[in-house]
Amino acid sequence: MQKVNLRSDTVTLPTPEMMDAILHAELGDDVTQDDPTVNRLEAYAADYFGKEAALLVSSGTMGNLVAVLAQTGCRRPEIIAEEHSHIIVWEGGSYSHFGGVATRTITGEQETGVLDPDKVEAAIRDDSNLHYPRTCLICMENTHNWSGGTVVTVDQIKAVRAVADRHGIPMHLDGARVFNAAIALGVPVRAITDEFTTAQICLSKGLSAPMGSVVVGPKAVIDEARHMRKMLGGGLRQAGIIAAAGLVALERMTDRLAEDHAHARALAEGLAKIDGIRIDLHSVQSNMVRIEVDALGMTGQQFVDGIAAYGILAGTTPAINRVRFVTHRHITDADVARAIDACAAVAEAARKR
């Protein structure tokens, strides 16, 4: 049985054009900045996202980490972030481990993860108080993974940016899926990245590169991030084979993400018709769909196990009764229909128990 993998858009495989680019990439040593393909990607990314410089890193987690470390060089540093953001929940506490960076979390808007600028302002430390750490950086995520791929609007970002500017604090964007956000909002991606000092953009999710992220920002910050990358063991040699695919990702793969959004919407609307499955259709704003299955008397894992018997792969979330589906380049209309049918069958069996 052919499986339909809706666990994550990280399962995307490189395109034939990417494989050809990898095969013919001009290579050098990136540690000494002598890999021409990496240099081309970094120059392209800096220009694309409206920043002075860019850095290729192996993953989004590393990209966020080096960006944070590069901007928290003050004594007793602390960052502000939404409590369910990726850098807080899913990155192993790397900021405190590697940089001695404290984190101050804020509860975002329910089910969207949007930061309230008033809460951000209240969370900024009084530098003169010797009991406090020093607020060095404000971090945001767009789209917001925990909330199901919800989108932070440009106006909502600007409201937080105004607070940051008043206090002279830089802002970092975890933009792992920032192109999904831009497409959902109908704006150029730079309308989002322009509001941040630095941004991390993942090449290996919906954009289909086999690995890699880019970090963009001011040259001085990126130079420091490059040093941090080396310290973390992320110095790369003939990294042009990664950069070649990343260039194709940025040049060719961004607009097609709208197809993933359409498939997510179709999946969500189909699942909403199944008795016992709860879904907030308003939360389906990009390529993720979350459902609640507690009304079926099932845990999320039990539901995932049930649809796996039909060849449908999905993921669970920390909420015990929640299931997540993520659409991507390899998902077709037929796959969406299969997923809906499998979910309906599992739900019907649960109702009959």
281-318 tens-digit pLDDT: 999 999 999 999 999 999 999 999 999 999 999 999 87
**DSSP state letter for 96:** H
Work out the percent of the chain whose per-residue pLDDT is above 90: 92
Confidence band of 353 (pLDDT split at 50, 70, 90): confident
The DSSP secondary structure of 30-70, one letter per residue, reads TTTT--HHHHHHHHHHHHHTT-SEEEEES-HHHHHHHHHHH
Q: What is the pTM of this model?
A: 0.95
- Residue 151 tokens read as 């989108």
In this predicted structure, what is the pLDDT of residue 165?
A: 98
Distance CA 140, CA 161 (A): 10
Query: How many helices (H) does the chain have, and how many strands (E)?
Result: 14, 12
Of 251, 245, 248, 247, give the one whose Cα is nearest residue 22.
Answer: 245
Bond prior to 143 in cis (omega within 30° of 0): yes
Q: Does residue 68 carry a pLDDT above 80?
A: yes
Work out the percent of the chain whose per-residue pLDDT is above 70: 100
C-alpha dist (Å) from residue 138 to 21, 74, 317, 336? 37, 14, 26, 38
Q: What angle (nearest 5°) sits at the alpha carbon of residue 176, between those of residues 173 and 182?
A: 80
Distance CA 48, CA 243 (A): 15
Amino acid at 105: T
Distance CA 60, CA 287 (A): 18
C-alpha dist (Å) from residue 134 to 198, 273, 285, 288, 325? 19, 50, 35, 36, 39
Q: Tens of pLDDT along 79-107?
A: 999 999 999 998 999 999 999 999 999 99
Q: Does residue 246 carry a pLDDT above 90?
A: yes
Distance CA 88, CA 80 (A): 10
Q: Tens of pLDDT along 157-181?
A: 999 999 999 999 999 999 999 999 9
In this predicted structure, what is the pLDDT of residue 27?
A: 98
The DSSP secondary structure of 272-317, one letter per residue, reads TTSTT-B--GGG--SSEEEEE-GGGT--HHHHHHHHHTTTEE-EE-
